[in-house]
Structure 1
Amino acid sequence: MKKLASLGCASILTLAIVSGGTSFAAGEIEVIVNNNAAGQGTSAYLANGTTMVPLNVVRQIPGISVSWDNKSKTVTVMSGSKRIRLAAGQKTAFADSGKITLSMPATLEKGRIMVPLRFIAEVSGAYVTWNSQSRTVYVAKADNKLKERLASGNLTDARRAALQLPRVSMIRNLEPTPSSLEGQSFTYYFLEGEYKRFLIGGGDLLSYYEVVNERSQLIWTARLVGSAETDSLLFLKETKASEESGVRPLLNSRLAYFHVMPHIGAASYGFIGPDGTVTELGTKDVTMNEEVVDIPEEQK
């Protein structure tokens, strides 16, 4: 029962990430840190091109500790051996290496300190990007264990790690139609012998990602509908894209697929040819974050 519940949570998380996160009111800014939405009510805002956030958002970034001295109105940021101090209202930050000029100073807003997100995130080595179409800031920082698994030389483990990497998007995100989410099953597709290029199918969406510098970047996403005429650029028979965003991938080789069924705690697996021919090889019991299994027949 625990395994089924975990896989159910995994399916919900997977589809949430695919769709780009939580729905926010018009004009609000969403902040996503390592695939987790910082939450509504963060009061994040843009000022002179700088995203300002409260300390509770910064604290969600791995490898960072933050403290606030109310008496001196100073924020101290620690990341490993690095220490940086920002004083409210001052555009100069102080690091062990010297002074740093900020694009925007830390600011007190209604009794709450707001700090420049990118500056603090990059102190810890995190990647930060802004999606102007969805008004979303992505903060991505993979941990060392994920990095090691990506470089392990074990294809299955590298694929599992790739699926757990922080995801970012710089294209228009699509959200699955609510009625398409019934059953909560989803499918992972990897190019044969690869782990850096993969697709995720969930609900009525299909999304293509590429691993770039230890993060997974959304390159293309589409809403699929049944069709008597198969879209020649897709590998799924009797299916076409009714809406899409980004650049379509060129898929001219066989794909390994893993169809995850949370309701029974299992995944079927096999290959899909460029012409859409499906060869199912078997079904295995799976657990959360281990839905991708070894395929002995795969060319590596």
Structure 2
Amino acid sequence: MKKRALCALAGLALCVSLTGPAYAAESGVSFEVNGTPLVQEFTSKVENDTTYVSYWPIVQAIYPDATAVWANGQAEVTASGLKLELKPGAKYIVANGRCLYVPTGVKLEDGCVMVPVRTLCTALGAQVVWNGEDGRIAITSGSGPITSGDSFYNQEDLYWLSRIIYAESGNQSLEGKIAVGNVVLNRVASTQFPNTVYDVIFQRNQFTPASNGRIQKTPTAECVIAAKLALEGANTAGNALYFINPSISSSSWFSRNCTYVATIGAHAFFA
């Protein structure tokens, strides 16, 4: 019997069967997977230059053995070598323990869980090619799903990055947490600072939590997620190398000597 995702929460379905492509006309984009057009049971739309798609038809086309259930307020997909979690409203998806950034959030519309097509295909290990001449997105299977988080993340970097994020911005938004992670990683990449996450964090007179012991506190789940997102390349702070909380620290030195980048929550960021 053909495996299907099941209806889930408050009468909302996982969008596994549709009578027609409700958003296809809106998006003006056609899709194919491994050369086969996706026409039935598929929806898409373009929002802020991001093409969103209903995840299930693409998952099933690439992984015919896939199953999906609704649990813990999210779609949970299992296939050979793949575990995928898509939570409506979340600004990331989880694939094999890795967190992939979705700045505009996972959508739930008319019972359909929808995600950016490129983010979904990254999780699936598939390639995406845009053909502007005929408005077609071609998706091609790769050698398998995304590498697991256990293999991809340097565990020492993840350990310390999640802790400095928690110590410096545990009460900030996800974007603010990512931004603190960005500052650390920008320093690692800069010749002005040490070249490891640990050495950047523990460089003398740089991060107060490293000297007062707060760095040792166990981070929240969202701080770990923010660290993973930063390590994946999510960036909310540009090329910033410094941040301060203007309500408790003077920004005059930074204003005179650095380039202002952004203010996110309680922190101002400078390069």
| TM-score normalised per structure 2 | 0.37
Structure that is richer in helix per residue: 2
Structure that is richer in strand per residue: 1
| TM-score normalised per structure 1 | 0.34
